[in-house]
Amino acid sequence: MHQTLPSYTSGTSETPLLGMTIGDMLDRTAAQFPDTEALVALHQNIRWTYREFVDKVNDAARAFMALGVQQNDRVGIWSPNRYEWTVTQFATAKVGAILVNINPAYGAHELDYALNLSGVRFLVSADSFKASNYRELIYQLAPELKTSQPGQLKAQRLPQLEGVINLDTESHDGMWTWAEFIGLSTQVSQQDLDQRQSVLQFDDPINIQFTSGTTGNPKGATLSHHNILNNGYFVAESQNFTENDRLVVPVPLYHCFGMVMANLGCVTHGATMIYPGEGFEPRSVLEAVHREKATALYGVPTMFIAELADPEFEQFDLSSLRTGIMAGSICPAEVMRQVNSKMNMKEVQIAYGMTETSPVSTQTSSLDPFEKQVTTVGRTQPHLETKIVDPVNGRVVPRGEIGELCTRGYSVMLKYWDNDEKTQEAIDDAGWMHTGDLAQMDEDGYIQIVGRIKDMVIRGGENIYPKEIEEFFYTHPAIEEVQVTGIPDDKYGEELIAWVKLRPDADPVSADDLIAFCTGQIAHFKIPKNYKFVDEFPMTVTGKIQKFKMREVSIKEMGLKK
């Protein structure tokens, strides 16, 4: 009798986990590859070798000690991609402070929440970015800054915040400039820093990242050296990174994709981090790859779609590219084909995970068949475990069946900061992180994400997974991007709506055309009845599409009852 395997796998590896702190890892890499380029920030005209980079990090670490920053104190960073972000990341790790990543798109209310929840003592802040004037928002929350000396803040609304380091070159009331801050490093010896660094343990918390909760307030995932150092290391290991690799990083640093997979992936291998700009611009990414002879490029699928669509695309030489990571959501097959052929990224990989798991849990390999690269998120990462369980009774389901994906291993966060209740909801007694994602595992252990438990649409008793329908729509020549979600329906409980973005050069397409396209190809109950043609989708800063917002807009526009 043929027994179906249970949906469980563990990632085996002959490569051991790194048992060290981030500061020790940086020192080791700098000693091994002192003359290799570490950091290139093109928009800031910065180009440093590992020897220079570790010196800059040590200066900032000593400056934090001069401010009185103790182990486990929280230091906030609120900035787009700049060299100071990365220097702060490694400097706080060397002194054992917990870096609190603040989303560059936050407004005053969200900033207030993040700073107070995590108890930030010092904030490193850009002056402004895009439409946000950070300095004005900080003055709005802490007007006392304008009349206080740098580091002497006593603010009613932000009682724990003592000082702000502003990345503008000009001085502003109550704040240090970055240069003034670095100047404080002369007050602390390298010996004192080495002493501090030597007592840190790799299980210490080092980072708080807010999950872009689609409901309720964001939660602060608290991560250790061990969590993120190893995750960055194994993500880059899978791509066969060496000191000869040069990675272009257009994804935000405040998010795990930039700070862990990119920065720590490079530093653990002596590779080069290249920042094309403060935020994502397809043209500057293509220029960076061309100019810097990059071997690797990261992005979410929408970024790759925008790069391929750039009118000047053909002008750039991308022949140096070899690998990279596409994450954030599954990549449409056609986009993957173009990334392989037109961008020369033959070894591009898909990675899947969440902030709470540092982030990557599963990854494809460059050796995987094309079909697996475009339909799955790969297999379980080294030293991690995956199981898929029935969301109702918690039992492991047989392979091929849909259930909730759970992850266990070194990558699972320590906790949600100051929120035991949510921590216990997310991590069960056996140490499994419950992701909230619906998935299925095939006979070979490849995992397919079929949606969020929250995104699943139940129409007349039929479970519908929007992703499956989206994948089918991508085979239509006129469709550039599509998202399917559920809206309330009196008869069936829920009905489907598809938001469709057409290619600029495509012939006009109507809702009836799309219904006809689906008829006979997918089950009748899976064919969306409603269509909305759009130029863009509601997104988070990290490029994740917010289906709950699409649903809200659709309900409002169609005059439906929730």
Q: Of 449, 435, 455, 450, which is closest to residue 549 (Cα–Cα)?
A: 455
Could you give the angle at the alpha carbon of 510 between the alpha carbons of 507 and 515, nearest 5°? Answer: 120
Question: What is the distance between the alpha carbons of residues 497 and 516, in angstroms, rounded to a whole number?
Answer: 15
pTM to 2 decimal places? 0.88
Whether 208 shows a pLDDT value over 70: the answer reads yes
Count of C-beta atoms within a 10 Å radius of residue 192: 14
3-class DSSP state for residue 496? strand
Strand 462-464 and strand 272-275: the pairing is unpaired
Question: What is the distance between the alpha carbons of residues 250 and 40, in angstroms, rounded to a whole number?
Answer: 13
- Residue 475 tokens read as 């085979």
Contact 473, 501 (CB under 8 A): no
Binned at pLDDT 50, 70 and 90, residue 540 comes out as: confident
Question: What is the distance between the alpha carbons of residues 165 and 179, in angstroms, rounded to a whole number?
Answer: 9
Q: In the chain, how many H helices and how many E strands?
A: 18, 27
Tell me: cis bond preceding 504? Omega within 30 of 0 counts: no
pLDDT for 214 equals 46
Residue that the structure tokens 């929120």 belong to: 419
pLDDT for 213 equals 52
The CA-based dihedral angle spanning residues 191, 195, 196, 197, taken in that order and rounded to the nearest 10 degrees: 100
Binned at pLDDT 50, 70 and 90, residue 454 comes out as: confident
Alpha carbon of residue 358 to chain centroid: 9
Average per-residue pLDDT in the chain?
Answer: 94
Q: What is the pLDDT of residues 264-289, one digit of tens each?
A: 999 999 999 999 999 999 999 999 99
Cβ density class 219-242: b for 16+ within 10 Å, e for less: bbbbbbbbbbbbbbbbbbbbbebe
225 φ, ψ to 5°? -50, -50
Question: What is the distance between the alpha carbons of residues 124 and 544, in angstroms, rounded to a whole number?
Answer: 26
Count of C-beta atoms within a 10 Å radius of residue 458: 12
pLDDT > 70 in the chain, percent = 98
What would the mean pLDDT of 68-90 be, rounded to a whole number? 98
Whether 216 shows a pLDDT value over 70: the answer reads no
3-class DSSP state for residue 368? coil
**Biggest alpha carbon distance in the chain?**
79
Whether 62 shows a pLDDT value over 90: the answer reads yes
Q: What is the pLDDT of residues 312-355, one digit of tens each?
A: 999 999 999 999 999 877 788 889 999 999 999 999 999 999 99
Question: What is the distance between the alpha carbons of residues 195 and 516, in angstroms, rounded to a whole number?
Answer: 70
* 3-state secondary structure string across 301-337: HHHHHHHHCCCCHHHCCCCCCCEEEECCCCCCHHHHH
Question: What is the distance between the alpha carbons of residues 467 and 330, in angstroms, rounded to a whole number?
Answer: 9
Question: What is the distance between the alpha carbons of residues 179 and 198, in angstroms, rounded to a whole number?
Answer: 27
Q: Higher confidence at residue 520 or residue 504?
A: 504
Whether 74 shows a pLDDT value over 70: the answer reads yes
Helix extents (H) in 332-451: 333-341, 370-375, 420-426
3-state helix, strand, coil in the chain (%, to 5): 35, 25, 40
Residue type, 33: F
Q: What Rg value do the Cα atoms of the chain yield, rounded?
A: 24
What would the mean pLDDT of 525-546 be, rounded to a whole number? 89
